[in-house]
Amino acid sequence: MLVAVMLLPSILSISQLGLGSQELVERQDSNETIEVPGYLPFDQNSVDFEDPSHGWNWDEGNTGKAALYYRTASYVPIQEWEQVTGEALVSGWHALGHEYPIPSDWKEELEEIGLECRTFYAPQGFHCDVPRLSPATLLDAGVIGAFRLADIDKIAPDAFPIIEGESNGNAGMEGEKYLFRVLLSGPGHLSDLLKTGVELRDYRLQRFADVLVGPKEIEMLSEQPFIEWIEPTYAPTFDNQEASQIIGADWVTDSSNMMSHGGAVTGDGVIVAVMDSGLDTAVECSGVTNCDSLNSGVHADFSGRIMGVVSYNNCGACSDGTGGPNDYNGHGTHVAGSVLGDGSNSPNGEDNSGMAPGAYLFMQAVGYGNNDGSLAPPDYEDAYAEAYAAGARVHTNSWGTGPDACAPTQSNPTATNSPSCWAYYTSDTMELDAAANNYQDLTILFAMGNDGRDCTYASFGWQTTNCPSGQDGEINLGALNRQATAKNILSIGASENVRNTLALHSRSYFSVCGNCDWYGTPIKLDQEGDNAEGMAGFSNRGPTSDGRIKPDIVAPGTWIHSTKTSLRVASTDLGDYYTVKRGTSMATPITAGSVALVIEHLNAHGYNCNLAYNSASDNCPDSALVKAILSASAHDMQGQYSSGGDGENGAVERAPNNHEGWGRVDLERAMGSGFSEGIDITTSDMHSFKLSVPDSGVSTLRVVLSWNEAENSPSAGTQLRNDLDIFLKSPTGVLQTYDNDDVNNLVGISIDSPDAGDWEIIVTGENVIDGAQKYYLAASDGVITDMRHPVSENYNEPGFQSGSIFTETTMSTGEDHLCAILDDASLQCWGSNEFGQLGDGTTADRLTMTEVSLDAARTATSISSGKHHTCSILDNGELQCWGRNNFGQLGDGTETHSISPVGAVLSQVPVQISSGDWHTCSIMDDASLHCWGRNTDGQLGDGTNIDSSIPVSVSLGEKALAVSAGGSHTCAITESWALKCWGSNDNGQLGIGSTVSSNTPTTVTLGGNAVAVTAGGSHTCSLLQGNNVKCWGDNSKGQLGDGGTNQQNDASTVGVTLAGAISIDSGRDHTCVVDSGDSLHCWGGGDDGQLGDGSNSEQVSAPVAIDLGQNLGALSISSGGSYTCVVGSNDLARCWGGESNSGALSLGNEPEDFPLSRWSYIGSSERDWNNNGNLNIFEVNVGSDGDGDGFPSNEDSDDSNPTVAADCSSGSYGRFTCRQATPGYFV
C-alpha cells in the first residue's frame, strides 16, 4: 500500500513549549499589561498601547500581519497613516507591508525610491529606513501599511532578569556591567550608537556592535529607533559530555561496493577546516610542505595532509608556554582525528581511522592552553574567510554557546527556563547565517550541545546540578546551542554508538553522569552505547523558538575512539595515540568527514572540488546540495524506548523530528541519491521534475528540498525569508502532499512502498522576497531530471510565428478546437469534433488531447487550424488535412468531409501552412504560394471567385516569406518585406483605403517593412521591422486596439497599436501579441473569455496585459475563434476562452494549464537560426542577401530561394540548419 508521510510535524504549541496557553503578547483590558510569559510584565508606563503607530493587533482597521518575536503585529493602512498617527510623512525605520505573496522584485523597487530594507517580518513585510516619503508615494510603490517597532519588540528574553537587577547565569560581564550585543536596524548608525554614551567594545559588518551596559542603559537602548534588538552575550564552550560502520563509511571506502557510483571515496583532495582547541603539538604553518617540515612530530594520523595551522588565542607569550595551536585540552586533536585521521598508529587488528582518511586538514586553533575549556573564536566572517581562502569547503565546529538563561526574577519568582529563551535566533546566529550564505559552497557544521535532560529545568545551572522532578522517560525539547539555531548550517545531534562489548563503555546514563537525577526510567538505566537505533540521552533537541526542526541530522556520539594529544593524559586513553570521548562534539566531526566523502563522490558527477591539489579545481557543491543529499538519504532510526506518554520516545517518531532531525547519516544510501542542479525560483513560479524510481524494492522514498538564504533577525517571529513548497505526484498522477510549512528551509516528503516508475516533483515559489532563490533537490532513490524547459532549452530563441517560413508552427487554435505538435513529434487535438476536425477517425468531441490518425511512422512538423478543419505538414513533405470540406478546403480534390487525414494535391513540397475559415494557403519550397477552398470573395487570390478543391497558384510577383488566411481574406509578405492582401474587404480588412474586395493580391502601404502578418475574421494586423504593431479593418469589438471602435480602411493612416512586439496572432474578433519581454497583451472581443483578462467583455479597445500566472512568459501565441492559447516558458500550453461552450470545453476567462499527458510538452521551433541574437523575421536588408531570408549570399546555399539556406548532406535535413534524419524522414 502506498502511504504518503508528512515529513514536517506541526510546530509545537505554546503550551508544549512551556509558554502558557495565551498569545505571546496580548492586551489585558483590566490592567493594560503586556505579558511576556515567564518573565517581566511590562505595565502601561513601559509599553504605550495608545500609540497606534506600533501596529497593535487589536487596533480595528489595521491590515495584514507581521510575525515579531513576542507578538503578531498588524499594519496601519498606508492611506490612513496621517489620519491615524498625525504624521504627514513616513520617516525612519518602519515595517512596511505588501499584499501577500510579495513579488520577488518588490524589495528592489523599494530600494529604487531610496529605501533601505533589511529584516523580513513574515509573511508580508520588511523593516525599512524610509527617507521622508509621503504615504501616497509608498502606496504607489505597493505598500499597504506600516508600523514602528515598540520597545518591547527589541529586548531579548534573557535580558529581562538583568533589567530587573537579577543575576543571569553565564551572561558575559566586565566588572559590574554586562557585555551586550546590539543589532542595528541597518548600516550607517554607528555614530548614533556612540551618541548614546554606551561603551563600545566591537563593531562589525555595519550592523553588529558589542557594548558594555547596565540595566538602565538596556532600557534606554531599546527606545532608540535605529536599534532593532539587544541581547546578552555568553562564552562559548566545547560540547564534550565527560561509528564508521554504523553510518556506512567503511562501505563507501570499499571500491567493490562503489563501482557503480564512481569509485571508492576517502575524502581525497577535499580540505576540511576544524575550529577547535588545537592540534597535538602543532605550530602555525601554511601549505603541506611547510606543515610537514614544521610539524613532523604531530600525531602520525595527520602526516602529509595538514594544509595549514593558525591560532586565535593571542597567547603566544603565555608564561606557562601553552600558547599557540598546541592542544593541551585534547578536544581538537580528537575532533580532527574523527574527521580525517588515517589510523596510522592503530594497534594491530584495530582501525581507529576517521571518516575521511584521505581528506586534508586546516586547523583553526581557538583554545587557550590552560586546559580549562575556554575558547577565543574569531568573528564568523573572518574565520570562514580565512578557511575558505585556504581551500576548505567543509568547516566543523564542536563548540558553542549553551542554552540561554531566563532565570526567575523577583517579579516572577516561579518562572522557569523556557525554550523560547533557550532556542531563539540570536544576533550571534544571525552573523553565522550571513557568513554561511556568503560562502555558499562551504558546508558549515555545528554541534547541538549536550544539555539534554529528562527533568524540570529549574535554572541555568542545571548542567551541573541535579533536577529531581519532572522525569517522564522522554528527553525534553527545545534546549540547544545558539549556533545550532542557524538555518544555513548543519546542526548535528548525537546518536548512540555500539561499544557495549568493552568494559569501559558498558555503563548506563545514570552511572556516567555520577548517579545524577537528570534522566527518568528507562533512560537512566540504559547503556550509552548499546543501540545504534537510539539517540544519546545528552544530545540537545529542537525545535527552535520559531518552530524549525533541529537537529538537521545525527551521527554516533558515544564512546568515540579517535586521536589523542600527546600533551594530556586521561583515564579514558587507549594507549599512547588514541582516546575516547563522547558528546555532540564527537558526532559533528563524524558528519563533517561524511560531508568530505560526499563532496569527493560528487566529483564523479559533474563537480570538480580538489583544492588540496589544484587551486583551480574549485567547482564545489553548495552546502544546500550537501544538506539535501545527507537528509534525503538519512536513516530514520527506530528508537529504543516506548515511554514518554505517546509511546514514541525520541527517535521512535517518524523523521524528521526534533530528536534525530532527518535521521542518522547513511553514506551507503547517500552514494545512490539522485539530485538536481541549483535552480532559481521566484514568487509564484512552479517547477516540474521527473524522478525515475527503480523497480528494486525501495521501502521508503524520501525527496528533500533545500536552500540557503539571507539571514533574518532576532526581532522577527519567523526566520524563514523565502518560502518554497514541494509536492509529489505518483506515476498514476496521485498528488502526494504534506502541510507545507513556512518556517524551514529544509523540507521534504517520504513515501512508503513507492511505486516504481516516473514520479513528478513540483517545487513552487510560495513567497520569495529576496529576488530569485536558488534551491536543490535530492531523492533517496532514483534519478531526478529537470523538466522545466525540456524543449525550449535546445533552441537559441524558441517559439514560432504563425505563417512565417522561418518557423514551424507547433500549436494552432481553430474556432473551437486546438491542435498541437508535442515534443515527441506526435500530433494531438482537443475540442469540438462535429466535422472530424480533430482527425482521430471519429466525430466525438474530445476533452483530452487525442492523437491524430496519421499514417504509421509519420510525424508532424507544422500545423494550422481553420474554423472547422485542420492541416499539417508531415515529416516526409506531405501536406495532410482533415475536417470540414464543404468548399474543398482540405485540398484533396473533393468536397467530402474527412474524419481522418487526407493528402492535399500538391506538386511541390510545402514549408508553411495557414488555414482560414473555409480556405487554406501554403508556401512551397520554391517560395511560391498556393491556396484552395472557398473563393466567393476572391480569398484564393487567383483572379477568380471560383471555389477550388485543389491548390491554385497565387501570383505575388515576388517570392513569399509569410502567409495568413483569415475569415474570407488572405495576406502575404514578400521577399521585399512588402505586404499584399486580397479577398473580402467589407470592413476594410485589406487596408487599401476602400471597402472594395479584390481577387488578386494588392499591395498594402504600411510605412515600413512588414515582418509578420495575421488575418482575423474581418481585421488584419501586421508586425513591422521596428517591432511595432499596426491593425486595420473591422473594429466593432475593439479588435484594432486603437482605443476606439471605428473601422479603419487605410493601413497607411493607422497608428501603432503596440510597440516592442516580437510575435502576433489574430483570432476571429481579437488579437494577441507577445512583446520582447515575453509578456502577453490582448484586445478585441472577449465575450467567450478569449482575452484572458478575467472578464467576458464584448469590447476591449486597447491592449491589456495578460498575467499567465506562475511567473511564466509566452514563447508563442495562437488566437482562434473563441479560444486563445500560449506556449509558456515552461513549454506547456496555457489556454482560456470557449465560455459559450458547455461543460469541459469551457476553459474560463483567465489562463490556466491545458492538460497534457505526463511529461508531454508543446514542441518548439527555432526563431534565431544563425544565433546572432536577432529573430530571423527581423533580419531585414541584410547585406548581400539576395532572397530576403536574412542570410548573406556567402552563408546561403541558394540565395534566390528564401525558404532554404542550409546545404545538408545525405542523411540529414533542414532548411536553415541541418539535423540528422531519422528513418523514413523526408530529406
572: nearest Cα among 300, 238, 241 = 241
Beta strands in 287-365 (DSSP E): 306-311, 360-365
Task: Categorize the per-residue pLDDT at 410 as very low, low, confident or very high, splitting at 50, 70 and 90.
Answer: very low
CA 1215: distance to chain centroid?
Answer: 40
919: nearest Cα among 937, 903, 899 = 937
The one-letter amino acid code at 608 reads N
Distance between first and last Cα of the chain: 51
Phi, then psi, of 321 in degrees rounded to 5: 70, 20
Let me know: does 740 contact 766? Beta carbons within 8 Å.
yes
874: nearest Cα among 1149, 1213, 438, 443 = 1213
User: Mean pLDDT, to the nearest integer, of 692-697?
Assistant: 88
Domain boundaries, the chain: 52-153, 172-233, 244-633, 673-788, 794-1153, 1194-1227
User: Mean pLDDT, to the nearest integer, of 1060-1077?
Assistant: 98
| pLDDT tens for each residue of 946-955 | 999 999 999 9
Residue 273 CA to residue 533 CA, distance in Å, equals: 29
Q: How many residues does the chain have?
A: 1227
User: Mean pLDDT, to the nearest integer, of 276-283?
Assistant: 94
Residue 499 CA to residue 481 CA, distance in Å, equals: 27
Task: Categorize the per-residue pLDDT at 236 as very low, low, confident or very high, splitting at 50, 70 and 90.
Answer: confident
Task: Categorize the per-residue pLDDT at 171 as very low, low, confident or very high, splitting at 50, 70 and 90.
Answer: confident
Residue 690 CA to residue 455 CA, distance in Å, equals: 48
1073: nearest Cα among 793, 798, 801 = 801
229: nearest Cα among 261, 186, 287 = 186
CA distances from 360 to 254, 304, 337, 797 (A): 20, 8, 11, 46
pLDDT at 1120 (0 to 100):
96
State the virtual CA torsion across 854, 860, 862, 867 in degrees, nearest 10. 20
**pLDDT at position 14 over 60:** no
964: nearest Cα among 840, 1084, 1066, 828 = 1066
C-alpha cell at 902: 487526407
Give the range among 397-406, 667-676, 856-865, 1174-1183 with minimum mean pLDDT. Answer: 397-406
Kindly state the DSSP code that residue 161 receives in the 8-state scheme: H
pLDDT at 1031 (0 to 100):
99
Q: Within a 10 A sphere around the Cβ of 371, how many other Cβ atoms? A: 16
CATH architecture of 794-1153: 7 Propeller (2.130)
Residue 821 CA to residue 793 CA, distance in Å, equals: 17
pLDDT at 1227 (0 to 100):
44
Residue 1148 CA to residue 90 CA, distance in Å, equals: 43
What pairs with residue 171 in β-bridges? Answer: 234
Give the range among 16-30, 360-374, 850-864, 1016-1030 with minimum mean pLDDT. Answer: 16-30
The one-letter amino acid code at 908 reads Q
pLDDT at 1141 (0 to 100):
74
User: Mean pLDDT, to the nearest integer, of 806-818?
Assistant: 97
- Encode 1117-1142: b = buried (16+ Cβ within 10 Å), e = exposed: bbbbbbbbbbbbbbbbbbbbbbbebe
The CATH code of domain 673-788 reads 2.60.120.380
> What number of H helices and E strands is found in the chain?
17, 66
Interstrand relation of 979-983 and 969-974 (parallel, antiparallel or unpaired)? antiparallel
Let me know: does 562 contact 334? Beta carbons within 8 Å.
yes
**pLDDT at position 19 over 70:** no
**pLDDT at position 724 over 90:** yes
**Averaged pLDDT of the chain:** 88
pLDDT at 646 (0 to 100):
66
| Greatest Cα-to-Cα distance within the chain, rounded to the nearest angstrom | 112
Residue 564 CA to residue 585 CA, distance in Å, equals: 15
Residue 212 CA to residue 202 CA, distance in Å, equals: 10
**Residue 1143 DSSP SS3:** helix
Question: Over pLDDT 70: what percentage of the chain?
Answer: 88
**pLDDT at position 694 over 80:** yes
Residue 119 CA to residue 228 CA, distance in Å, equals: 9
**pLDDT at position 585 over 80:** yes
**pLDDT at position 213 over 50:** yes
Per DSSP, helices labelled H in 508-581 are: 509-512
Please classify residue 903 by burial: count the beta carbons closer than 10 Å to its beta carbon, then call 0-12 exposed, 13-18 middle and 19+ buried. Answer: middle
Element (H, E) at 293: helix 288-294
pLDDT at 252 (0 to 100):
66
What pairs with residue 703 in β-bridges? Answer: 749, 779
**Residue 362 DSSP SS3:** strand
Kindly state the DSSP code that residue 796 receives in the 8-state scheme: S
pLDDT at 839 (0 to 100):
98
Question: Over pLDDT 90: what percentage of the chain?
Answer: 72
Please tell me which residue, 316 or 103, carries the higher pLDDT value.
103
Q: Within a 10 A sphere around the Cβ of 15, how many other Cβ atoms? A: 10
Residue 1127 CA to residue 1135 CA, distance in Å, equals: 9
C-alpha cell at 1002: 494588392
C-alpha cell at 1133: 500550453
Give the range among 309-323, 552-566, 770-784 with minimum mean pLDDT. Answer: 309-323
C-alpha cell at 317: 607569550
User: Mean pLDDT, to the nearest integer, of 777-805?
Assistant: 94
966: nearest Cα among 1008, 934, 926, 928 = 934
CA distances from 1140 to 715, 818, 1120, 1136 (A): 54, 16, 14, 12
The CATH code of domain 172-233 reads 3.30.70.80
Task: Categorize the per-residue pLDDT at 7 as very low, low, confident or very high, splitting at 50, 70 and 90.
Answer: very low
pLDDT at 34 (0 to 100):
41
The one-letter amino acid code at 212 reads L
User: Mean pLDDT, to the nearest integer, of 590-600?
Assistant: 97
The one-letter amino acid code at 621 reads P
pLDDT at 169 (0 to 100):
62
What pairs with residue 702 in β-bridges? Answer: 750
CA distances from 566 to 173, 332, 374, 516 (A): 35, 12, 20, 32
Please tell me which residue, 790 or 946, carries the higher pLDDT value.
946
User: Mean pLDDT, to the nearest integer, of 77-83?
Assistant: 97
C-alpha cell at 255: 571500491
**Residue 588 DSSP SS3:** helix
**pLDDT at position 95 over 90:** yes
| pLDDT tens for each residue of 340-398 | 999 998 888 788 899 999 999 999 999 876 666 678 888 899 999 999 999 999 999 99
Beta strands in 1077-1164 (DSSP E): 1080-1084, 1100-1106, 1114-1119, 1123-1128, 1133-1137, 1152-1153
C-alpha cell at 138: 509608498
What pairs with residue 1106 in β-bridges? Answer: 1080
Let me know: does 962 contact 976? Beta carbons within 8 Å.
no
Element (H, E) at 381: helix 380-389
**pLDDT at position 407 over 60:** no
**pTM of the full predicted structure?**
0.86
C-alpha cell at 966: 483569415
C-alpha cell at 1042: 486603437
Kindly state the DSSP code that residue 754 receives in the 8-state scheme: P
**pLDDT at position 162 over 50:** yes
Task: Categorize the per-residue pLDDT at 29 as very low, low, confident or very high, splitting at 50, 70 and 90.
Answer: very low
Residue 1026 CA to residue 406 CA, distance in Å, equals: 69
User: Mean pLDDT, to the nearest integer, of 780-788?
Assistant: 93
Let me know: does 832 contact 840? Beta carbons within 8 Å.
no
Multiple choice CATH, 244-633, 3.40.50.970, 3.40.50.200, 3.30.1330.40, 3.40.50.10860: 3.40.50.200
748: nearest Cα among 611, 654, 827 = 654
Let me know: does 666 contact 591? Beta carbons within 8 Å.
no
Per DSSP, helices labelled H in 520-661 are: 584-602, 623-633
Per DSSP, helices labelled H in 539-610 are: 584-602
Residue 23 CA to residue 25 CA, distance in Å, equals: 5
| pLDDT tens for each residue of 607-659 | 999 999 999 999 999 999 999 999 999 999 998 887 766 667 778 889 999 99
CA 364: distance to chain centroid?
Answer: 34
Kindly state the DSSP code that residue 1058 receives in the 8-state scheme: B
Residues sharing a CB contact under 8 Å with residue 535, sequence separation 6 or more, in sequence order: 475, 493, 494, 495, 496, 554, 637, 639, 650, 651, 659, 660
